[in-house]
Amino acid sequence: MALNFFDQFMSPTSFGIPLIAIAMTFPWVLYPSPSNRWLNNRLITLQSWFINRFTQQLLLPLNPGGHKWALILTSLMIFLLSLNMLGLLPYTFTPTTQLSLNMALAVPFWLATVIIGMRNQPTAALGHLLPEGTPVLLIPVLIIIETISLFIRPLALGVRLTANLTAGHLLIQLIATAAFVLLPMMPTVAILTATVLFLLTLLEVAVAMIQAYVFVLLLSLYLQENV
């Protein structure tokens, strides 16, 4: 039984071909593309409003040099949000529960921010490794600690997203299984369990949106330090 709970996180395959590529490509089909008409429909108008508001909120603390990242960060946010939300549907697969995928997204973006900082302002980038006013005896220790914390950033990005989504999916499956088992024996308790399941599902919808936003927000903060 314990093994079956984790089967939902296995990458689906068909005839030996992994289907994770289809799961990652499908969200882009759902978004309508803007037309050349003067007046758009309500869906495209709502989509454009959401993207504009998010982009303004994301770029608010960034210098003008970081505004070049607006398109890629907004696209990443929409991509993660779509994968997280679609993964809450029954009989679907959530690619963002795979640590390998999240690390494949986190490491290149983090490395790009570090490279930009080392290229544009190497003194300031290296200065983050040693806070101002540090006692001489603590300088070697602080440099090691700050260097480790710098390299842990992409790992924290990937693990945070993976752990939150995996824990939510496991809780939903555990409580749903308990509700089905208790229904013939204790209907009242099963109804209460189903109510908890409904509330937990609403919570997981919020977690799916928040985790996508936090992922991109932390990347923008890393970018802010190096621009």
Per-residue burial over 71-87, b = 16 or more CB atoms within 10 Å of its CB, e = otherwise? eebbebbbbbbbbbbbb
* Minimum mean pLDDT range among 1-15, 38-52, 137-151: 1-15
The pLDDT tens digits for 18-65 are 777 777 887 777 777 766 776 677 777 888 888 888 888 888 877 777
Q: Average pLDDT of the chain?
A: 84
Question: So what's the pLDDT on residue 70?
Answer: 86
Nearest to residue 149, comparing CAs of 115, 224, 220, 141?
141
Question: So what's the pLDDT on residue 35?
Answer: 67
CB atoms within 10 A of CB 45: 12
Question: So what's the pLDDT on residue 5?
Answer: 65
The pLDDT tens digits for 164-207 are 999 988 899 889 888 888 888 888 988 999 999 999 999 999 99
Model confidence band, residue 3 (pLDDT cutoffs 50, 70, 90): very low
Q: Is 14 helix (H, G, I), strand (E, B) or coil?
A: strand
Please state, in angstroms and as integers, the Cα–Cα distance from residue 153 to each residue in 78, 108, 126, 214, 221, following that order. Answer: 22, 12, 16, 13, 11
33 or 85, higher pLDDT: 85
Nearest to residue 8, comparing CAs of 165, 209, 159?
165
218 or 91, higher pLDDT: 218
Nearest to residue 94, comparing CAs of 188, 213, 204?
204
Q: What is the pTM of this model?
A: 0.83
61, 217 Cβ separation under 8 angstroms: no
- The owner of tokens 């290149």 is 108
Rounded distance between C-alpha atoms, residue 47 and residue 128, angstroms: 38
